[in-house]
Chains A and B, each alone.
Chain A
């Protein structure tokens, strides 16, 4: 299976702290994407990193990809209570292929 798996399953931090979530996968990928889901809501795309990229930034988000270890990490800096959500990594084997989601990390940021 190509599915990504996030670690940890749950993360609880204080506002202002950084949050790091990890994702591991099993097969070769075209790209890896991170999504956010607020409770009971839809999935919001955060960032995409291609297999030939090692690091990408978007605002307070930093994503790394290590294809040799088949792993990725999502760092949210200076977290806010509004960042409380579930975060999913999803791998894609080909450009238009299906997304394989992990189980997600539930992030709780306390004010």
Chain B
């Protein structure tokens, strides 16, 4: 079964530092997403990406966040200047129209801890 791969699995960073979370979506998928889950809270949508541009973003996805598809396989989420409240599990997901009738495929997540 194809998988979405996320690296690293756990990252600890100092407040104010920049972090890049990496995702390798399923190879024939064209729709990509980032979600986050603060400990004990709901999974929240951050951003969706299609055709090399953001198609939708939430109010959480402010100027300190950015996404990029630097090559044909990776999809990254950058947080420019991390805050304590950015500590969360970050999930990448991908989807294809061929999966119509099926849900998104999520990666195992990156646990980001800001200290």
A: residues with CB less than 8 A from B are 3, 33, 35, 40-48, 50, 88, 90, 95-104
Contacts and interface: CB of A to CB of B under 8 A. Distances in A.
Contacts of B50: 96
B102 A42 contact: no
A103 B106 contact: no
Contact of B42 (A48, A50, A98, A102): A102
Question: Would you call the interface of chain B mostly helix, strand, loop, or mixed?
Answer: strand
Given A95-B100, A99-B35, A44 B106 contact: yes
The listed residue with most B CB atoms (<10 A of its CB), out of A43, A47, A104, is A43
Interface residues of B, number: 29
Interface in B30-78: 31, 33, 35, 41-45, 48, 50, 55-56, 58
Contacts of A98: 33, 45, 48, 56, 58
